[in-house]
């Protein structure tokens, strides 16, 4: 982010407030001017002194300041972005209802800067219809939501609702503040692992969660692109022009090919099955019948089909999940599929690839370029992939 970017960092009263200390540090290290605003509830979990020492200005908490009669207006008007981490269910409800009961909620209502909320709460609270409806209301108003992660919660519970990793939160701030360098471009993204039916119950599939593809789609939208996402994942998604849910490789092929010609950039992040059963049994196979013999046939190669049919100036990005000879396999696939960029990762490495919230990739270019992306959040990796794709697009436009 640009040096001097003014970030109002709101901290509300949840156990995850301690993570906001690391968010504050990362923002300051990145060059931001950070003004912390804490609720009274936040001080039950973290101290004012810590934030005042790490941030660019002392902590503000009160609407009633002798040296400044309208602090919420100054904060709201002066911010480049307002970030709340953690955002409790109460704060989300107050903000959705327009209730300004303290300095933080008053600042949220008084600002025209982008607002980013990072919810954190127990799973039962996160899944409550009232919380989800309030978030939906805020999304419609243009508020950016960094969804919570699954993991260990307060009290030893495990579930969904854990505050997003500080690196993910800072990446979201950078994304919101990034100039719309993809404005005017249409980006088509695929995500998730396809399922090829064996019978009405069983299928051939893979471990892809769709997280990386969804991160690419949302990052592209944040940078101003018109985005269509064709996904075999059930993950939630927001802010995109179009979301098409598919199951099989054939369904993904049809959805992609119907939209491919209109796209300036196509990112094939999906894990598409290579084979499918020749025959799908109409009824569930029974164990008593013994082990079945399942004959397979190749699925359609969507990436290769795009490589053969794409129009001039279109940028095509492929993905390769490997477990050995990553560089050799990636370069071979790069040449065979006719793509501009091939994003490869070693999914046998801890915290990389399938089902993780982090990734480490190498971006191979048809021009011989090699761009490594060390272990980071999938959102940050998404931006690096889009940076490379945009570079290829601009280079083609200049020719």
Q: Which residues are catalytic?
A: 206
Over the range 182-210, which residues count as b (16 or more CB within 10 Å of their CB) and which as e?
A: beebbbbbbbbbbbbbbbeebbbbbebbb
356 three-class SS:
coil
Q: What is the largest CA-CA distance in the chain?
A: 82
- Taking alpha carbons only, the member of 73, 75, 29, 37 closest to residue 58 is 37
The string of DSSP letters for 372-399 reads: EEEEEEHHHHHHHHHHHHHHHHHHHHH-
171 three-class SS:
helix
Q: Where are the beta strands (DSSP E) in the chain?
A: 6-11, 33-38, 81-87, 115-119, 144-145, 149-152, 158-162, 186-191, 196-197, 203-204, 226-231, 242-245, 265-268, 275-277, 296-298, 315-322, 341-346, 358-365, 370-377
């Amino acid at each position: 982010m640009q040096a001097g970017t003014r970030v109002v960092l709101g901290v509300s009263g949840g156990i995850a407030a301690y993570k906001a200390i690391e968010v504050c540090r990362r923002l300051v290290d990145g060059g931001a001017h950070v003004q912390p605003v804490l609720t009274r509830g936040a001080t039950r979990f973290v101290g004012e002194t810590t934030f005042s020492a790490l941030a660019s200005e002392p902590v503000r908490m009160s609407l009633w300041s002798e040296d400044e009669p309208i602090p919420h207006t100054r904060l709201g008007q002066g911010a480049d972005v307002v970030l709340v981490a953690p955002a409790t269910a109460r704060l989300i409800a107050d903000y959705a209802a327009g209730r300004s009961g303290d300095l933080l909620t008053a600042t949220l209502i008084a600002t025209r800067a982008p607002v980013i909320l990072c919810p954190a709460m127990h799973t039962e609270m996160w899944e409550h219809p009232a919380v989800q409806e309030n978030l939906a209301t805020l999304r419609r108003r243009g508020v950016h939501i960094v969804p919570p992660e699954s993991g260990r919660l307060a009290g030893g519970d495990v579930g969904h609702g854990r505050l997003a990793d500080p690196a993910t939160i800072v990446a979201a701030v950078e994304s919101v503040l990034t100039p719309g360098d993809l404005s005017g471009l249409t980006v088509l993204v695929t995500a998730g692992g396809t399922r090829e039916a064996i019978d009405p119950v069983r299928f051939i599939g893979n471990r892809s969660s769709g997280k990386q593809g969804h991160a690419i789609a949302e990052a592209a939208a944040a940078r101003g692109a018109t985005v269509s996402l064709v996904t075999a994942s059930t993950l939630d998604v927001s802010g995109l022009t179009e979301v098409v849910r598919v199951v099989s490789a054939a369904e993904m092929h049809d959805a992609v090919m119907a939209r491919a010609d209109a796209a300036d950039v196509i990112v094939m992040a999906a894990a598409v099955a290579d084979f499918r059963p020749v025959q799908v049994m109409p009824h569930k196979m029974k164990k008593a019948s013994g082990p079945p013999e399942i004959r397979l046939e190749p699925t359609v190669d969507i990436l290769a089909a795009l490589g053969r049919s794409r129009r001039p100036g279109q940028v095509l990005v492929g993905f390769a999940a490997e477990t050995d000879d990553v560089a050799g396999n990636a370069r071979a696939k790069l040449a065979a599929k006719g793509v501009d960029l091939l994003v490869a990762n070693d999914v046998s490495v801890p915290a990389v690839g399938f089902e993780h919230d982090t990734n480490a990739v190498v971006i191979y270019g048809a021009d011989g370029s090699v761009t490594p992306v060390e272990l980071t959040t999938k959102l940050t990796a998404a931006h690096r992939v889009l940076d490379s794709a945009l570079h290829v697009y601009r280079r083609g436009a200049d020719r």
